[in-house]
Amino acid sequence: MAFLLPPCSSSTSQTPSPLSFHPPITSSSNLSSTQIPTKSSNDWISKFRSKSLNFALSGALTLGLSLSGVGVAHALVGVNKPELLPKEFSPVIDVAGFLSDGQEKRLAQEIANIEKDTGFKLRVLAQNYPDTPGLAIKDFWQVDDRTIVFVADPTFGNILNFNVGALVDLDVPRSFWSRLAGKYGNMFYWKEKGEDGSIEAAVTAISNCLREPVGSNNCSEVN
C-alpha cells in the first residue's frame, strides 16, 4: 500500500526496508508472464499489506525514522496516542510546536491546492518521538495509496521522513525523496533555518514535484 523509502545507495538497495507498508513485491520479480494471480493469493497479499501497514504506522510514523537510516529504531516501541490528535480534521498536525499558527494555515492551504490539482494527498506530522499520535493518524487521515505522509522528526538527525503511497511511487522517482531529505532535512540545514524552515521548504519541493509532467526526468531537481 505504501512504504518508507530507504536511502538510494548500492549498499541498501537490495535490502527491503523493515518499515515498508507492504513487501516490495512486483509482478516482474515474482510472477512470470505466464503466471496469473489466484483469488487466494490476492487475498493473502491484501491481508499481508494490511498487517504491514499497521506495523509501519505504529513503528515508522511513530519513530519518525530518518531516510538516513538508523538501526536503533528497531529497539524503540510503537506509540498510539489518539488523544494527541486535533479535535477537527487537519492535514497538518504539529505536536512538537515547530510551526506557528500562520505557518500551519499556509501549509494546509498549499496541501489543499496540491490535492485539488494532482489528486495526491500530502499529510504533515511534526513530532519529537515518543510524543506523537503514532498509529492513530492512520484512521484520522485515511491513509491510502495516494497519500504521502511527511513526518518531521529531528530525533535521528535528519528531520525529513516520508511514507509514500504505492500510486505516488508510480509517478515520483524514489530518488527524489532521499535527495529531498539530503537537501532540506540534514542537521546543518534545519539548525540554521529552523525546523519550520525545513518543513516549509520540503512541502514546496513536493508541491513542485507533483505538478511536473510524469516522465523520465520528472522531479529530477529538488526546488
Name the average pLDDT for the chain: 75
Q: Is residue 16 part of a domain?
A: no
- Tell me 135's DSSP state: T
**Whether residue 36 has pLDDT greater than 90:** no
- Residue 18 pLDDT level (bands cut at 50, 70, 90): very low
pLDDT at 62: 42
Main-chain dihedrals φ then ψ at residue 98, nearest 5 degrees: -75, -30
**Whether residue 71 has pLDDT greater than 90:** no
What's the mean pLDDT in 111-129?
Answer: 97
**Whether residue 119 has pLDDT greater than 90:** yes
CA-based nearest residue to 54, from 28, 80, 72: 80
Q: Cell numbers 508510480 label which residue?
A: 170
- Identify each DSSP E strand in 56-180 by its residue range: 92-94, 121-126, 147-152, 160-165
Q: Which three cell numbers stand for residue 171?
A: 509517478
Q: Is residue 109 part of a domain?
A: yes
pLDDT at 76: 57
Whether the model pTM is above 0.85: no
For 193-215, what is each residue's pLDDT tens digit?
999 999 999 999 999 999 999 98
Main-chain dihedrals φ then ψ at residue 25, nearest 5 degrees: -105, 130
99 is in which domain, residue-wise? 40-211
pLDDT at 58: 41
Q: Edge to edge, what strands does the sheet with 121-126 contain? A: 2-4, 160-165, 147-152, 121-126, 92-94
**Whether residue 153 has pLDDT greater than 60:** yes
Q: Is residue 91 part of a domain?
A: yes
The C-alpha atoms of residue 59 and residue 90 are separated, in whole angstroms, by 22
What's the mean pLDDT in 58-81?
Answer: 48
Q: Is residue 33 part of a domain?
A: no
Strand duo 147-152 + 92-94: pairing: unpaired
Q: Is residue 222 part of a domain?
A: no
What's the mean pLDDT in 163-190?
Answer: 95
**Whether residue 21 has pLDDT greater than 60:** no
Q: Is residue 35 part of a domain?
A: no
Q: Is residue 6 part of a domain?
A: no
- CATH for 128: 3.10.310.50
Q: How many domains does the chain have?
A: 1
**Whether residue 87 has pLDDT greater than 60:** yes
Q: Is residue 49 part of a domain?
A: yes
What proportion of the chain, given as a percentage, has pLDDT over 70? Answer: 65
The C-alpha atoms of residue 94 and residue 156 are separated, in whole angstroms, by 18
